[in-house]
């Protein structure tokens, strides 16, 4: 039997849930033979229709919000479109990442509608900070030891696969990223550290509430796989917790 989704927050206009890694949000051309989707599971769990207003990649876990009526969906969709949202992610990357840096690399769309080279480059901006690191006495690549970093990531634009592509281009691919990462490090984490997934999680989301002059700040705990890894690496102090907080002043305009 499928476990119920973790509800982080719910009121009359919206619901926030923890999306498990590996679960598609809704049906798409990427679905293939997949028969289970987050939208469907949440609808069945709540016993009512829900409306997606933003997206998370299939392998990414973390906080997602759904509207509970069409009017709220329209207002929340506009909030995301206008970038009146603050997003926070945690990522485990190869190497010793920068202490603080802005990644400003334009990205072409990867939606498959046209060859990528024919798509126009679009502005993409991501803020990254290194929170912690670890050095393992294991040769995974050409060096006798292997270093990994925990990165706080805040995208200010919402391009497809933006975080994964930006970190990879900067030289710090996310562990578990089959498309933009490094296979030998991915295999090491899967086989030796029990982490066969993309180590990227959406842990924070702040936005204007669709009704009233206030905002919401949501925090989402990591799943069991990432939590165990953080504890193993001595990063337990960086573990987020599930929480929801009303903001009397709406969030500033960022994404």
Give the span between the Cα atoms of 25 and 64, in whole angstroms. 9
Q: How far is CA 68 from the centre of its chain?
A: 22
Closest CA to 61 of 6, 125, 4: 6
Q: How far is CA 109 from the centre of its chain?
A: 18
- Cβ atoms of 13 and 50 within 8 Å: the answer is no
Q: What element of type H or E holds 230?
A: helix 224-233
CB neighbour list of residue 81: distance below 8 Å, 6 or more residues apart: none
Query: DSSP assignment of 79-118, as one string?
Result: HHHTT-EEEEEEEEEES---SEEEEE--EE--SSSS-GGG
Burial class, 233, CB count within 10 angstroms (exposed 0-12 / middle 13-18 / buried 19+): middle
Length of the chain: 255
Give the span between the Cα atoms of 193 and 68, in whole angstroms. 39
* Catalytic (active-site) positions: 57
């Amino acid at each position: 039997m499928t476990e119920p989704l973790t509800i982080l927050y719910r009121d009359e206009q919206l619901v926030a849930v923890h999306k498990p890694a590996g679960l598609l949000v809704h049906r798409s051309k990427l679905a293939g033979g997949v028969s289970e989707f987050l939208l469907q599971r949440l609808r069945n769990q709540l016993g009512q229709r829900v409306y997606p207003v933003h997206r998370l990649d299939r392998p990414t876990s973390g906080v997602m919000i759904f509207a509970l009526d069409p009017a709220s969906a329209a207002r929340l969709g506009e909030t995301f479109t206008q970038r009146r949202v603050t997003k926070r992610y945690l990522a485990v990357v190869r190497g010793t990442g920068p202490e603080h840096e802005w990644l400003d690399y334009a990205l072409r769309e990867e939606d498959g509608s046209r060859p990528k080279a024919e798509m126009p480059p679009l502005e993409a901006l991501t803020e990254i900070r290194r929170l912690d690191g670890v050095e393992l006495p294991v040769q995974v690549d050409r060096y006798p030891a292997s270093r990994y970093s925990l990165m706080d990531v805040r995208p200010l634009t919402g391009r497809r696969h933006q975080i994964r592509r930006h970190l990879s281009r900067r030289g710090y691919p996310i562990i578990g990223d089959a498309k933009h990462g490094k296979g030998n490090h991915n295999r090491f984490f899967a086989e030796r550290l029990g982490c066969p997934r993309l180590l990227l999680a959406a842990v924070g989301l702040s936005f204007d509430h669709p009704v009233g002059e206030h905002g919401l700040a949501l925090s989402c705990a990591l799943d069991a796989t990432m939590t165990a890894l953080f504890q193993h690496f001595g990063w337990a102090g960086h573990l987020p917790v599930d929480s929801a907080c009303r903001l009397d002043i709406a969030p500033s305009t960022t994404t």
